[in-house]
Every structure is written in C-alpha cells, then in structure tokens.
Structure 1
C-alpha cells in the first residue's frame, strides 16, 4: 500500500491529471453557459448536447456533475460571485464617501459584471427561475445574501436601533427584487435608458429608504 501511495501522480500530455480534469470541468461549464444563456435554454438542453458543445464524452460529464441542474447551479453561483466581488471592491474603493456615491459605484460595478456577457443575464435572471425547489432555494439564498450586504451598508451609513434594522431588511429585500427586474429588462432592451440613468434611479431608491421606521 505504501509503495502505491508514494508513486508519482500520472501526467498526460505534460499536465497532471488534476489539471486536465479542471480544464474539462471548465469546458463543460462554458458549454453550459453557451447552451443555457446563449442557446436553446436550460429546459431545452440535454447532457449529450452539452457534451457535444464541450467536445467531451458523457462519461467525462458524469465524472464532474450529477446532472444539468448542478451545472446551472454552479454557473448561477459564479455569476453572482463575480458580481459581488466587483461590488465589494467598489465599496472598498469609495470607503468614507457618502452613501449615494458608494451605492452608485457599487451598482455600476455590479451591472458591468453581470451584463459584460449577455449570457450571464439570461442565465441568472431567466433560466434559473422555477427550475426546481432546490434551485429556487439557492436563488433565494443568493438574493438574501445581496440584501444582507446592502443592509450592512445602510446600517453603517445611518446607524439605527433594532427597529430601524428590521425596517432596513424589508426595504433592502424589495430593493434587490427591483434591481434584478430592472437590470434584466434593461439588458433585454425593454427599458430605454443608459446605464447612468439606471444607476441613478436605483440609487435614488436606495438612499430614499427611511432611516427610521414609521411611527405606530
């Protein structure tokens, strides 16, 4: 057993097996993005079509993923991770500025990331909706994560007690829904506006969130 464990890992075409497997996984994910976001869509796709697009076998597919929904889930998480990273970096760059400027920078970074590739928009805002209870749970968890990020920024900017915090949570949840709908409609050509106009509208909505809960 010791001799086998100590043998060097196999290499193919000058690359370790792990590196080759990672490359295959990326090819499958890119094929998924193409089919789900740029081709017939998730519901019309098949494992065989995805493998043909990736230039790989179904055996190789099942070495990486259980099914197409798992590919969709990984891609959805990746789109959001990239957008969140861009938004957080913008917030870091604008630390110390007023909430309006910080929100504008963060939204522009978010929108630039999501809309950089039209396939990302379709995948993140259209193809993931209503796929399954599991996918809906992932989608809602990500929306909650966005709402928590915005909630934290509002609390840092305006302070407030527990009652204000609860009010912020309701408002930020509604705000995230508005962002998702508006970015999708804008990227699909249903909203005639520039990115600056979209950013201004959303920032005005955000900074207009009451800093104190309504009196009873």
Structure 2
C-alpha cells in the first residue's frame, strides 16, 4: 500500500473518530501480541489472519497501518514502554533507599513486568531480530535508552558517594546485554532458578559495576 486509507471524522456511537481509531489500533496490537508473541509468530502471520483475530476487517487494518512490520514495530515499543513505566514507578518509590535496595526494587519491577507474559519476551528478544534494518535500528535505540537509564542511576549513585566516579556507558551496555540474555534464557526454561534468584544475580552484577574498587576514590 502506498499509504493508509483516509480516516473517518466526526462522532459515531458517542465516540470521536480519534477514540474509535485508538480502540481499533489497540485491538490490532492485542491481536498481534497473541499471534506474533505466540503462534504462529510474526513471519507466519498474514494481514487477513491478524484482522480476523482482532475482529476487524483488512480495510480497517490499512486505515491504521501500512504493513505488518509497522504493527510489530508499534508492539515492540509498547512492550518496552510497559517495562520502562514499571521500572520508573519502582524507582520513584525507592528513590530515598540505599543503592542495593534501589537496584533490587528497579530490577524486580522490570523483570516482573517483562516476564509476566511470555509473549512480551518473545516480541522483545526474538521476533524483532533480523526483520529489517529499520527494526534493528529501533531495537538498538531502545537498548540505548535502557543504557541511558542505567547511566543516569549510576550518576545518582556517584553523587551520593555510593559508586565510583567513571564513565559507565560501556559497562551499562554490557550489563543490559546480560539482563536481556538472562531473562530470555530463564523464560525459555534453560535456567533452573526462581525469578527472585535471577533478580538477585542482576543486582549483584550491577553493584559489582557501580561500587568503588580498590584504588578508586569515592565522590563526596
């Protein structure tokens, strides 16, 4: 399709065109979470199948999206947004706690959100891989955003004298890779551990990165 079909305007059934559009879009994303995140997966799903699962028509699909890749891109961002919102909410509640408690609260919230639905993990760590340069760019951009999150918290820890003063970008990038790999393997059943044990290991790794080592000074 060269572009999406023209959207309807005005009120219908007591709802605005924008409200109806948001509801349709949500139904397509819910259906995509099921089909892309479970069976048959993104690559084996058709526009017709997705529309049927959403209880909508293919014409309505093209009013909202150009391609199935657009749906996967939107769903990938949504799943990441859910996880980020959980981590930020936990951080707000734990802001005044010492570093170990803060880190535990953040990663328990993140891990609980991501693993609450196995389909979310598949969308984030499996289905977006290798689809297109555009989705790879988006995936790496979201990873960079998580790296920025870790670096920002490292800066807070440095200011409080809880962490060594240094550039954390490389360490944070390596740590995010560890988070993704560990949660994926745990969810796939390749790791015999509880989620609490996984979170504890992630916190130990993060504290090992942040805490001053011998020969480094502490900030005042």
The TM-score, its normalising length taken from structure 2, stands at 0.87
Q: Residues of 2 paired with 1:18 and 1:205: CA distance? A: 45
In the TM superposition, residue 12 of structure 1 has moved relative to its aligned partner by: 2.5
In the TM superposition, residue 18 of structure 1 has moved relative to its aligned partner by: 2.4
CA change 1:82–1:210 in 2 (3 A) is: closer
Q: Which moved more, 1:141-150 or 1:109-118?
A: 109-118
Structure 1 runs, 4 residues or longer, greater than 3 Å off: 210-215
Q: Please show how residues 54-65 of structure 1 align to structure 2 within 5 Å.
A: 54-65=54-65
Q: Residues of 2 paired with 1:133 and 1:165: CA distance? A: 33
In the TM superposition, residue 189 of structure 1 has moved relative to its aligned partner by: 1.1
CA change 1:98–1:53 in 2 (3 A) is: same
Q: Residues of 1 paired with 2:15 and 2:91: CA distance? A: 39
Partner of residue 14, structure 1:
14
CA contact (8 A) 2:72 2:128 kept: yes
Partner of residue 4, structure 1:
none
SS of the counterpart of 1:11? coil
Q: Does 1:122 align with 2:130?
A: no
SS of the counterpart of 1:66? coil
The TM-score, its normalising length taken from structure 1, stands at 0.88
Deviations 1:39-97 (A, max 9, x none): 11111111111111112111111111111111111111111111111111111111122
The gaps in structure 2 that reach 5 residues or longer are 1-8, 216-220
CA change 1:10–1:193 in 2 (3 A) is: same
In the TM superposition, residue 121 of structure 1 has moved relative to its aligned partner by: 1.0
In the TM superposition, residue 15 of structure 1 has moved relative to its aligned partner by: 2.6
CA contact (8 A) 1:88 1:106 kept: yes
CA contact (8 A) 1:86 1:110 kept: yes
Partner of residue 34, structure 1:
34
The gaps in structure 1 that reach 5 residues or longer are 1-8
Partner of residue 111, structure 1:
111
Q: Does 1:150 align with 2:150?
A: yes
The number of aligned residues is 204
Partner of residue 44, structure 1:
44
In the TM superposition, residue 165 of structure 1 has moved relative to its aligned partner by: 3.8
SS of the counterpart of 1:78? helix
